[in-house]
Chain A
Amino acid sequence: MTMNEANTYDRYQRQIILPDFGVGRQQKLMRAKVLVIGAGGLGCPVLQYLAAAGIGTIGIADDDLVSLSNLHRQVLFTVHDIGLNKAERALAVLEQLNPEIQYIAYPKRLTVENAFEIIGDYDMVVDGTDNFSSRYLINDACVLMKKPLVFGAVSRFEGQVTVFNYRDDAHDEPVNYRDLFPSPPRAGEISNCAEAGVLGVVPGILGVMMANEVIKGITGMGTLLNGRLLTYNACNNQVYELALQVNRDARVSMPADKKEFMEMDYDCLCGVGDKGFEIDYKTFSELVRAGDIAVIDVREAGEVPAFDKFDVVNIPLHQLSRELSQIQAGIVVTVCQSGQRSLVAAGELASAFGNSKKIYSLKGGVLQWPLLHKKELS
């Protein structure tokens, strides 16, 4: 693929004729290799605009499958893609948009085992993942491999975007995610999109900003959000920017080399799988028998099946923080459909009550509730 091909020139003509762009910068894009991790709400617009702009090689990593509840924001996919892998479906759609560039799909999760191998092939990495475990893993790998990292994250009506680990004349010691947030929040403290919700346009807006940072970073055009975090609020259009600083204390806990990285357990670091709040049915039934317990159903009113074999107070998750005075017992167990919302609720209650109450979440929720056990409790 050369700029001599009339078709190629025609495809990118509108950006090539820009005063500060030209054929030279287009060729930089065409030689670039960018890895987009997470083909979700942020990843979809990032991928669309990078493919359209003519990035030479685009890697797409995602182990997740398309679901109906993704479609309001993950705009590469249609109802025909439900149940299919996001990385592979994104690749198929992008090939229609721009068949002149190379795509590689990684239909898997980035892990300490494969991160170096996958990231090593690229000039720049984009983090559009949806969990802290992946974000810390990607950050640490990019720091060790000296790869610039375009970072975006959203919650409800707000988003954050920045560029980590980008070396230029002004930044010989670039900042990274750990300078901003040295350690992950407790499990359940920060809600993800599935639990807290997200306005579809928010990752759209932030994702396009991330693609813009990639294009500027590769071409050397304009000013990057290098070492500066930009936040955007879609409700009031307010933008807030802050300069990030190196945080020496935070860097002590980073892996020092590839060997240490390979030994990291990022799920454990981020409290995934060891949440402390979760109890199984057996423990739950013992607590119910012992008394001084409040069982709180944090689902919306009317969700079925009901917990009807023991006393339950229904306080939907979004109202929980305003209804704390209702909770008098010394032991609180939150319950919901699948154990996800109740885990978030347990985190909120633990924040509110501190050590004054024992807080638990019923693992698996009502969906994992065997009929047999319901009877046992009655």
Chain B
Amino acid sequence: MQVRVILFGQLTEILGQELVLDHLEDTDGLKAELISRYPALGAMTFVMALDNRTVTGNTRLSNNSTVALLPPFSGG
């Protein structure tokens, strides 16, 4: 099962613009995997969206899901 992860704002400095991950069951597992690969992500504030919808609790992933991680912006 493949999941595409897209990044926004300063998160791209840690993870790049986009990556593809395999063998993940749910969003909690995905988050843990990303933080183990990119420890700096653990200290960052971001919202996670699964297939264009924000995730508020652990949610199952399906094949070819797209997960987006978005940081808050403060600039005006």
**A residues apposed to B, CB below 8 Å:** 38, 40-43, 127-132, 135, 152-156, 158-160, 179-181, 183-186, 189-193, 196, 198, 203, 229, 231, 233, 240-245, 247, 249, 321, 350-352, 354
- Give the CA-CA distance A159 to B40 in the complex, in Å: 23
Interface members, chain B 5-50 (any A CB < 8 Å): 6, 8-10, 13-14, 39-40, 42-45, 47, 49
Known: A186-B45, A241-B52, A351-B44. A155 touches B74 (CB 8 A): yes
For B44, what are the chain A residues with a Cβ–Cβ distance below 8 Å?
185, 189, 351
Chain B's closest residue to A270 (CB) is B74
Question: B10, A352: Cβ atoms under 8 Å?
Answer: no
Question: B76, A153: Cβ atoms under 8 Å?
Answer: yes
- Give the CA-CA distance A154 to B56 in the complex, in Å: 24
Question: A193, B53: Cβ atoms under 8 Å?
Answer: no
Question: B75, A192: Cβ atoms under 8 Å?
Answer: yes
Q: A110: shortest Cβ distance to chain B, in Å?
A: 13
Known: A158-B8, A191-B10, A354-B43. A242 touches B53 (CB 8 A): yes
Question: B73, A159: Cβ atoms under 8 Å?
Answer: yes
Question: A190, B10: Cβ atoms under 8 Å?
Answer: yes
Q: B68: shortest Cβ distance to chain A, in Å?
A: 6
Question: A231, B40: Cβ atoms under 8 Å?
Answer: no
Chain B's closest residue to A181 (CB) is B72
For A245, what are the chain B residues with a Cβ–Cβ distance below 8 Å?
53-54, 56
B52, B54, B73: the one within 8 Å of A158 (CB): B73
Question: B76, A129: Cβ atoms under 8 Å?
Answer: yes
Question: A243, B52: Cβ atoms under 8 Å?
Answer: yes
For A154, what are the chain B residues with a Cβ–Cβ distance below 8 Å?
73, 75-76
Known: A231-B8, A350-B43. A41 touches B76 (CB 8 A): yes
A160, A179, A241, A247: the one within 8 Å of B73 (CB): A160
- Give the CA-CA distance A59 to B54 in the complex, in Å: 33
Given contacts A38-B76, A158-B8, A245-B53, 8 further A-B contacts (CB under 8 A): A128-B76, A181-B45, A198-B75, A240-B6, A242-B68, A249-B56, A352-B39, A354-B42
Q: B48: shortest Cβ distance to chain A, in Å?
A: 10
For B39, what are the chain A residues with a Cβ–Cβ distance below 8 Å?
352, 354
A-B contact pairs, 14 of them (CB 8 A): A38-B76, A155-B10, A155-B75, A179-B54, A181-B45, A181-B72, A185-B45, A186-B45, A193-B75, A203-B76, A240-B6, A242-B52, A243-B52, A249-B56
B13, B42, B54, B56: the one within 8 Å of A242 (CB): B54
Chain B's closest residue to A207 (CB) is B76
For B10, what are the chain A residues with a Cβ–Cβ distance below 8 Å?
155, 190-191, 196
For A243, what are the chain B residues with a Cβ–Cβ distance below 8 Å?
52-54
- Give the CA-CA distance A180 to B46 in the complex, in Å: 9
Interface core residue of A183, A184, A185 (most chain B CB under 10 Å)? A185
For A240, what are the chain B residues with a Cβ–Cβ distance below 8 Å?
6, 8, 52, 68
Q: A74: shortest Cβ distance to chain B, in Å?
A: 10
Question: A153, B73: Cβ atoms under 8 Å?
Answer: yes
Q: B66: shortest Cβ distance to chain A, in Å?
A: 9
For B54, what are the chain A residues with a Cβ–Cβ distance below 8 Å?
179-180, 242-245, 247
For A351, what are the chain B residues with a Cβ–Cβ distance below 8 Å?
40, 42-44
Question: A185, B75: Cβ atoms under 8 Å?
Answer: no
For A249, what are the chain B residues with a Cβ–Cβ distance below 8 Å?
56
- Give the CA-CA distance A180 to B8 in the complex, in Å: 15
Q: A349: shortest Cβ distance to chain B, in Å?
A: 10
Chain B's closest residue to A129 (CB) is B76
Q: B74: shortest Cβ distance to chain A, in Å?
A: 5
Known: A132-B74, A158-B73, A242-B53. A189 touches B8 (CB 8 A): no
For B71, what are the chain A residues with a Cβ–Cβ distance below 8 Å?
185, 190
Question: B74, A135: Cβ atoms under 8 Å?
Answer: yes
For A159, what are the chain B residues with a Cβ–Cβ distance below 8 Å?
73
- Give the CA-CA distance A183 to B10 in the complex, in Å: 18
Question: B13, A42: Cβ atoms under 8 Å?
Answer: no
- Give the CA-CA distance A249 to B14 in the complex, in Å: 28
- Give the CA-CA distance A159 to B44 in the complex, in Å: 18
For A242, what are the chain B residues with a Cβ–Cβ distance below 8 Å?
49, 52-54, 68, 70
